[in-house]
Structures are given as C-alpha cells and as structure tokens.
Amino acid sequence: MEQRPPDPPAALVLQGLTKRFGDKLAVDALDLVVPAGSFYGLVGPNGAGKTTTLSMATGLLRPDTGRALVLGRDLWSDPVEGKRRLGVLPDGVRLFDRLTGRELVRYAGLLRGLERAVAEERAAELLTALGLAEARDTLVVDYSAGMTKKVALACALVHAPRLLVLDEPFEAVDPVSGATIREILAGFVAGGGTVVLSSHVMELVERLCDHVAVVSAGRVLAAGTLDEVRAGGSLEQRFVDLVGGRSDVTGSLAWLRTSSASS
C-alpha cells in the first residue's frame, strides 16, 4: 500500500486557552485548530475575547491555563522557535514611535536577526508597497491611525514569517491601502503562508478567508471552512443567529429623535 506523507502540523493550535481578568472570564477553555496554508478569520461581538485570545496565541499575554502551538512548537515552553516563524500585528500595542517609519521597520528586521542590508532593503520595499514611501522619514508618532496600522503590518512581515496573526488589520485603513493589504496577504497565503485575522467586517472575512471561527463570551461557537460555518446562508446571518442578543431600541432614545429639542 502506498504510504501517504504525514500531514504537516497545523499552523496554530489552541488548546484549552483560558484567561480571567478579576471576575471576568475573558477566554474560556478555548480550542481552535488553524490548518497550515489557510486564511482564517476570527469574528465575534465586542468583548468576545478575540484580542485576548490572539494575544495568548502570539506570546503577548500569558494564559492562565492552556497551550498555544505555533507550527507544532509550544509557544510558551519553547518561545524562540515558535516566535521566529510568527509575524504579529497586535491591536493597540505601543510602537517605538519616536523612530521614523523606515527606522522602525528596519529595527523590527534587525530584532528578528536579519542582516542590516537585508533589513534596510525589505523596509524600503514594504513601505513602498504599503504607500508609505513618502512618509518613511516621518516619525511614527506623527502618523495617522491608518498609517500606524500599515507600518505595524510592515514590521510583522519584514522577517518573512510562516504564520501571520493580525488583530483588526483593516481598521482605520483607507480603501486603496486595504486593497493593497488584501493583495499582499492573498499572495502570502498563495506562497504557502498562513494568516489568522480578526475582523468585525463580515463581507471582508467572506471575501478573503477560507476558514472562519465565530467567538462569543470567550468560546468558539462555530469553526471550520467558510462554507461549513455559513451553512448555506451569509456569514452575517449565521453570526447573528449564533451570537444573538441584539438590543431592542424600540421606544428608547426618544430624545435622539426629537426634532424640536431644546438646547
């Protein structure tokens, strides 16, 4: 009988990840398997635990319990090897913003062990691709929110990781830059990389991702291929069905609808 080659390890495996902040159970024994080569979307309502999960999955926040395996390596017991092949775009983490864009991306490359000339060359190429060439010598502290997001993405890509974990990569980014980022990420996956991203924009996840997980109250409610999760409907409809809990605003906020409001 012909021997099948063993499957490659999943790009990311989360097992029983749990995080509590005081009384708040932010992530509740969460399990997730992200196949290598997939483009994986994580969706969920505000406060669902997406950022906390991705922070634990990428070595930014220590879990109370559970494990995160990056390309088969336990990120918390063997961080060096896992992190070497991981690129991360965290949400809201302060960058070294007293550097210029070019200095920041080059510095990220040097930290990841690139030769100076390689780091310099890749920084220039990434900044140009992301439309930041003109702003390359501007301090990052003076960048707009979208520009900051793009320079942080350049930092995540500079060492050519195999797994990219991106928290809200399209937030605050203009449509032209968004299209460029989509193209870069699609090319990254086509080249054998894996992307995990969180987003609130269902259409974007449907357009880009081939796998999706719906997270709510720190747990995975549904996960699998996009078609499995959509189950014949739209992702938005499935999301609303799973997460529910829309507030009823009928009869409230009357003052907002009063045309003769006194000032």
Ligand X SMILES: Nc1ncnc2c1ncn2[C@@H]1O[C@H](COP(=O)(O)OP(=O)(O)OP(=O)(O)O)[C@@H](O)[C@H]1O
Query: Interface with ligand X by CB under 6 A: which residues?
Result: 21, 24, 26, 44, 46-52
Nearest to 124 by CA among 100, 91, 144: 100
At closest approach, how far in Å is the CB of 147 from ligand X? Answer: 21
State the distance between the two ends of the chain, measured CA to CA, in whole angstroms: 83
- Cβ proximity to ligand X: between 51 and 177 the closer is 51
User: In whole angstroms, how close is the CB of 218 to ligand X at the nearest point?
Assistant: 7
Tell me the closest approach of the beta carbon of residue 20 to ligand X, in angstroms.
9
CA 33/CA 36 separation, integer angstroms: 9
3-state secondary structure of 20: strand
**Quick one: 24 or 98, whose CB is closer to ligand X?**
24
| Residue 67 vs 219, nearer CB to ligand X | 219
CB of 127 to ligand X, least distance (A): 27
Residue type present at position 52? T
Q: Cβ closer to ligand X: 119 or 168?
A: 168
- By C-beta, is 47 or 187 nearer to ligand X? 47
222 three-class SS: strand
185 HSE (CA, 13 A, CB side):
31
Q: Which residues have a Cβ under 8 Å from the Cβ of 136 and sit 6 or more positions away?
A: 100, 101, 102, 124, 127
CB of 83 to ligand X, least distance (A): 21
Task: Using the structure block, give the residue that is written with the tokens 């220590």.
Answer: 62
